[in-house]
Amino acid sequence: MFVNLKETAEKLKSAENILVTSHINPDGDAIGSTLALMQILRSMKKNVQVYIDDNVPKSFLNLPCVDEIKRPAENEKFSADLFVVLDTSADRIGKVSEMTDAPILNIDHHVTNKGVDCDLHLEVEAAATCEIIFNIAHELGAEITENAAICLYTGMATDTGFFNYSNTKPSTFRAAAELVERGVQPNLIIEQIDKRTFQEVKVMSAALRTTKLYFGGKAAGMFVDEELYKKTNTTEGFIDLIRVIDTVDVAFLLTSHEKNICRVSMRSKNANVAEIAKRLGGGGHIRAAGCTLQKTLEEAKQILIQAIGEYLVETNNISREEFENCEEISISNF
């Protein structure tokens, strides 16, 4: 069932013991929104715990209260009367789904969220779940402390590519401006998120050398195999290196995290990559989406190129002949 902002605030107000979670492979919005909501609800004297079934990426380890994020142990339970799932539908939260039977309040901005078996507050126009949490804080009349503001700003900044992507709206800037008034220093946030070790830059350069163009340059892909991935355990920002190529509409990054598990990230300038991801069992936004394929890197590559090609044919961006005679252009021929 869909619930509006007011109903969402009411549900939060009437709960006492609240479990908050977000998606596995967490990003700045997942970490920022859970930490901010936790702080806001604790200021209202609620008993709140945050569990995420994954590690917190290095870029976010300095966020206020980050140590409060726990990973569920085997069969661990939390006695909650409300279970809040942020920035994803409830099917991408790993073992946290087994921690409680409390009713789910799902707060999200992904167009692909269908809100199965939960109360869903969905704002697809919101740039980030953090922007929705900002609105909820106002609806609740709760104070946004400097620490909560830092978390909210981080989620909004990372989901909008530091206020550059097409999801950036006047409301995003207004919220961000208020967060800066509350003490956020944008330069310190970007410094923290963009910081890389030399080893990471080396891995990035190795990944860049795997770049291939498809469909006359309309699509570009990067491939990180298990061996390369293990060197730093991050591919944060890699896709941005090829998204910028002038001919490219769809950019993708294929990463083999473990044997036969490949994560796909997609970005676009025009194409609806949420649609392509959905066909492959994933989801996301029109211009940023992803999925996981239980395949080898080579198999996943074929499936993905096929799906992107089919989509580009259907949307009249390439002809069927161009699709069938697609040549792979490698950066290493340079």
Name, in order, each residue with C-beta under 8 angstroms of 223's C-beta and a sequence gap of 6 or more.
207, 210, 212, 254, 297, 301
Judged by beta carbon distances under 5 to 8 A according to partner kind, the member of ligand AMP, Mn ion, none in contact with residue 290 is ligand AMP
The strand order across the sheet containing 283-284 reads 283-284, 288-293, 261-268, 250-258, 219-224, 212-214, 329-330
Q: What is the dihedral of CA 282, 217, 206, 238, to 10 degrees?
A: -40
| Strand-strand pairing, 261-268 and 250-258 | antiparallel
288 binding ligand AMP? (CB under 6 A): yes
List 32, 72, 155, 284, residue binding ligand AMP (CB under 6 A): 284
> Which of ligand AMP, Mn ion, none has residue 283 at its interface (CB below 5 to 8 Å by kind)?
ligand AMP
User: In the chain, which ranges are continuous DSSP H helix?
Assistant: 5-14, 28-43, 129-140, 146-159, 170-181, 186-194, 198-208, 226-230, 240-243, 273-279, 297-314, 320-324
User: For ligand AMP, which residue of 36, 122, 156, 289 counts as binding (CB under 6 A)?
Assistant: 289
Q: How far is the CB of 10 from ligand AMP (least distance, A)?
A: 27
What is the phi-psi region of residue 259: left when phi exceeds 0, alpha when psi lies from -120 to 50, beta otherwise?
Answer: beta
Q: Which of residues 177-196 bind ligand AMP (CB under 6 A)?
A: none
Establish if 291 lies at the interface with ligand AMP (CB under 6 A): yes
- Name the segment binding ligand AMP (CB under 6 A); options: 93-101, 207-215, 280-288, 304-312: 280-288
The contact mask relative to ligand AMP for 49-88 (x = CB under 6 A, - = no) is ---------------------------------------x
- How many residues sit close enough to ligand AMP to count as binding (CB under 6 A)? 14
Nearer to Mn ion, 123 or 322 (CB): 123
Half-sphere exposure (CA, 13 Å, Cβ side) for 145?
14
Closest CB to ligand AMP among 155 and 283? Answer: 283
Which residues lie closer than 8 Å to 253 by C-beta, 6 or more apart?
Answer: 221, 222, 224, 235, 238, 239, 242, 264, 265, 266
265's tokens = 């990230």
Q: Does 243 bind ligand AMP (CB under 6 A)?
A: no
Closest distance to ligand AMP from the beta carbon of 111 (Å): 10
Applying CB under 5 A, does 27 fall inside the site for Mn ion? Answer: yes
Q: Which position among 131, 159, 249, 275 is part of the footprint of Mn ion (CB under 5 A)?
A: 159
Distance CA 39, CA 148 (A): 6
Location of structure tokens 């609240």: 18
Considering the complex, what minimum distance in angstroms separates the CB of residue 289 from ligand AMP?
4
In terms of CB distance, is 264 or 312 closer to Mn ion? 264
One symbol per residue from 5 to 44: x for binding ligand AMP (CB under 6 A), - otherwise; what is it? ----------------------x-----------------
Q: Among 218, 285, 287, 301, indicate the residue that binds ligand AMP (CB under 6 A).
A: 285
Integer CA distances (angstroms), 191 to 60, 160, 176, 178, 240, in order = 11, 16, 17, 20, 17
Does 167 help bind ligand AMP (rule: CB under 6 A)?
Answer: no
Tell me the two tokens of residue 303.
Answer: 């499936």
Q: Given the rule CB under 5 A, which residues bind Mn ion? A: 27, 29-30, 87, 128-129, 159
Residues at the contact surface with ligand AMP, assessed by CB under 6 A: 27, 88, 92, 110, 265, 282-285, 288-292
